[in-house]
Structure 1
């Protein structure tokens, strides 16, 4: 069965949201909000950007599925995420670097909140 581009994006988006349900609550909220914003932002991009967008988010979904396993994170002993290579950072546009920095700041705040609860 062949899907249209819109159908592919919709299926990918729903898959990502389902995968996010397996994350700890703070990461789920952060990831879902980020994905929602990114998918909205790319609604009217050109076909070349759309293909790159779909490929990158597909890779993210595959990576997250591998990290979560079949039943979500196992008691928090397994770290989620992957290091970002310098060559990948160099490919980012300025606004993407800013966005990545803001995401890092939110992750740090979330980690500090969690530590202060203990």
Structure 2
């Protein structure tokens, strides 16, 4: 595959994900969009093997999100998101676990570390 078609595939996937995010509840749209922008920027110059994994994972995300949103949007769709199984969690690097935690804090406003250190 030549570089031009790869760039086109990346742009198409990026735009598709941002369009899908329009169907998310307003509270998490900007969080999702910012995360996608950051991830695509960070992987802009990755090696071909990483690029393949990156594209596969984000294409799977787009497919699952489209299925979850359905044709009628989030009000009529299935539950958004997918639970991570223990095997998937074990494969994550420390940096990825930290990112996942930061996303959880941003999405829920709950910071378990800070809350467990507080005395009632």
Category of TM-score, reference length = shorter chain: 0.7 to 0.9
Q: CA RMSD in A?
A: 1.7
Residue 102 of structure 2 is matched in structure 1 by 102
Alignment TM-score, normalising by the size of structure 1: 0.85
Matched residues in 1 for 2:61 and 2:15: separation? 13
The number of aligned residues is 108
Structure 1 range deviating more: 99-108 or 54-63: 99-108
Alignment TM-score, normalising by the size of structure 2: 0.84
Structure 1 range deviating more: 56-65 or 24-33: 24-33
Matched residues in 2 for 1:71 and 1:14: separation? 20
- Which ranges in structure 1 are unaligned for 5 or more consecutive residues? 111-118
Residue 43 of structure 1 is matched in structure 2 by 44
Matched residues in 2 for 1:103 and 1:5: separation? 29
SS in structure 1 opposite 2:81? coil
Query: Rg: which structure is higher?
Result: 2
- Which ranges in structure 2 are unaligned for 5 or more consecutive residues? 111-120
Residue 88 of structure 1 is matched in structure 2 by 88
